[in-house]
Structure 1
């Protein structure tokens, strides 16, 4: 029976991949067209090109420049913001440093039997993947208008605050310990809404207005949530949990919160705060929020009578859908840059025409 299910799934994947291979280059772009104000704007984004800088050699000065952002003197004007396809690379170096640090702590524990390495392993192991993803979204923020201080504040304070809101909602709702679809849905709803509320708070606090800003703030809060939650799970279920939690962090809270952050920007009026009315009346925001709740529910749902292989397939589908939503938001973010820069050019032309008319009169 299991072989038949696996065979059927492989055929389905092969069929889907054939279609994706033919249409993927335009699929995310076609969806992103409907999120922006200028559907005729063209943007080129391919995952193979997006990560093309990862394996290239980069200088220390290039790395330093990534962090000198977000101040009055280092934030570029809108016309100088790059609308070219984003190509993050530094996040892999961050992950490498954290992975090496974790490996050294493992040596300290297993080679020298030092229990003092355990707290460090829990923290670094929980931090490695979420924080590396956060650095990727930091690189992708082409507006360079959020400083490292703001980012770390959002990561720490926002992450803990989202856990506080989550626990407060858990007290008000009947969460059970069963692994039913109903309970998975309730957990997904509570945690994603809790993170969403905190993301809204920080977006309004920082007065940001761009899709990439929302994605970054969401990723910071999601990464903080992930780190502290994973640390708690390891303390409760044992050190080996850190390996599964770290692996799973690639497609969970950081990615889900980044999607919600971008959706909040899509759902609010530019240069105005996100309101309670926006929460319930903006379809573009609400669709992404429902998607994230569905992804979280699907991730937590322990489908009855399934094997480990099917559980891994379930997680893989979840990750693929989540990252596809991220590529859509990146595409929409680049479209937004081009649209805003086009408006600047149009406004300048209109101003020149007005001046010519005034001089003629």
Structure 2
């Protein structure tokens, strides 16, 4: 059958459209759902002037596919995007909000793996499970968040193998660059200098990966920035978890992984994603130049990331974790608004392609 929304041919064993996510059997939202806290958050994200609301459907609908059943064919189709043979042309890219769902499955798999390792350590007292416990616990939430960014990358021009490469190489490289900055600072370590050193290190790494014109979309910057941030956050969490185990107990190990995992989406992942998106926004279709880094559009986002990082690390008594939760919400409001800008950018480039068909190199 064909999807009534986009005319995409739907295989018999698939319940939802593989292209736009349409499902005729899905019920409408209830009044309770519309009045929920998430819908209030969604309304705030959508608060932009009406003349700029060219991207539909509303933000509140992007999680509508999470709790639906999905076939293996749908997952397989997602994992093959981004290659030379599967990257869509700009005129084929939809400028509406994507409807991600795979990230929730990834989190479920990681949670099951972590619980199995936890049983091996706590119930059977087997120390061979500890390395796996630390690694899975450190990567579960950052990688889940990264898969969400990957599904939201509407151009679908970055393959999953490339993302994994950026997670590991970018995460390690950004941590090494941060250590260089900390060595320069020596004894001048405080929340402000920590924010500057770590965000600058991630910015340098992100710019290294997104400077190529192949990754010129704002959504590409968000994704590759999130990949660097996820690697940084996961390796840092693994280090703190190991320190907690050495200096404390299993309880310290578990609480370290728990709290850092809960707060991971609003920290390094979101800040690096915003920096990457800001750089792609000012670079556009141009080749990289150093003077791009002093453009106000980039500096505003980058300085904001530094300030949020500094506030996050400020040791105010009695504020943990409420201050971090507020900063997390603020970070994700900015992330979703940047996604809206990215979708609007695609809409504009599709328009340029339609009315300038003889200049494909600029699209």
2:227 maps to 1:215: no
What SS is found at the alignment partner of 1:112? coil
Matching residue of 1:344: 353
More relative contact order, 1 or 2 (CA 8 Å, 6+ apart) = 1
Matching residue of 1:324: 333
Matched residues in 1 for 2:90 and 2:359: separation? 18
State the 1:41 CA deviation: 6.0
Matching residue of 1:9: none
Q: How do 1:178-257 residues align onto structure 2 when only pairs under 5 Å count? A: 183-205=190-212, 207-238=214-245, 239-240=253-254, 241-257=256-272
Matched residues in 2 for 1:195 and 1:58: separation? 35
State the TM-score, normalizing by the size of structure 2: 0.82
In structure 2, the CA distance between the partners of 1:205 and 1:85, relative to structure 1 (3 Å rule), is: closer
- Please say which structure displays the higher CA radius of gyration: 1
Write 1 or 2 for the structure with the bigger share of helix: 1
Conserved 8 A contact 2:218-2:277: yes
Matched residues in 1 for 2:353 and 2:238: separation? 47
Q: 1:283 aligns with which of 288, 296, 312?
A: 296
Matched residues in 2 for 1:95 and 1:23: separation? 26
State the 1:274 CA deviation: 3.1
Conserved 8 A contact 2:194-2:310: yes
Matching residue of 1:24: 44
Which structure 2 residue ranges, 5 or more long, are not aligned?
Answer: 1-36, 246-252
Matching residue of 1:272: 286
Matching residue of 1:151: 163
Conserved 8 A contact 1:267-1:283: no
Matching residue of 2:312: 299
Conserved 8 A contact 1:81-1:142: yes
State the 1:285 CA deviation: 1.0
State the 1:152 CA deviation: 1.0
In structure 2, the CA distance between the partners of 1:174 and 1:25, relative to structure 1 (3 Å rule), is: closer
State the 1:276 CA deviation: 1.6
What SS is found at the alignment partner of 2:95? coil
Question: 1:71-128, CA deviations, whole angstroms, 9 ceiling, x for partnerless residues?
Answer: 1110100000011212111001001000000000011111211011110000000000
Matching residue of 2:18: none
2:320 maps to 1:311: yes
Conserved 8 A contact 1:123-1:231: yes
Q: 1:79 aligns with which of 63, 85, 91?
A: 91
Conserved 8 A contact 2:138-2:235: yes
What SS is found at the alignment partner of 1:311? coil
